[in-house]
Amino acid sequence: MSDAPATDARPAKPRGRLAKLLFIPLAFAAGAGAGGFGAVIAAGKLGLGDDGGGHDAAPTASVAAPVEYIEIDTAFTSNLVDTGRYLQVRLSVSTTGGPDVVAAIARHKPALVSTILSVLGELSENDVADRAGKDKLRGRLKIAVNDMLAQKGVANGVDEVFFISLVVQ
């Protein structure tokens, strides 16, 4: 027997090849991570992400009150300015102001009717001739009704005014 040290019969694997094989997936993962981090930073700078409150802030959910529809059980009739014609409308309103607003509409019905008749009394035939005019009238009625309710101490008045019927004769 010889005194030479024993050598392993397996050939040595070059470490360079293993490093090359692992480099590609590791580089891809590092690039993806850096890109994702960059996207988070960019979203924050653009105001697309967190509102600046950090991760500790609990999300706040706004709970909207249910919409309630109140039909005004009066048929409003008014002469149109400068013509022999008249306008007759029936209205409904919607509110998310809750039971207090619904009760206030019923309680202040005489003031509500007077307010609506005042707005209708200023109309000409051209004011209700087309859809745009009718939409503008709905907006005017909403503002007038909310102003009247605010004078009575009612906040969060009506959200929308709807025509149930509208006749010009």
Residue range 87-101, pLDDT digits in tens: 999 999 999 999 999
- For residue 72, give the CATH number of its domain: 3.30.479.30
CA distance 28 to 140: 62
Radius of gyration of the chain (CA): 37
One-letter amino acid at 31 equals G
| Domains contained in the chain, number | 2
Extract long-range pairs of 42-46: CB within 8 Å, 24+ residues apart.
none
* Mean predicted confidence (pLDDT) in 46-60: 53
Our measurement of the distance from residue 81's CA atom to the centroid of its chain's CA atoms, rounded to an integer in Å, reads 38
Q: Is residue 73 part of a domain?
A: yes
Domain that holds residue 41: 14-57
Record the pTM.
0.63
Helix, strand, coil share of the chain (percent; to 5):
45, 20, 35
Whole-number percent of the chain with pLDDT over 70: 63
pLDDT at 87: 96
- Do both 76 and 152 map to the same domain? yes
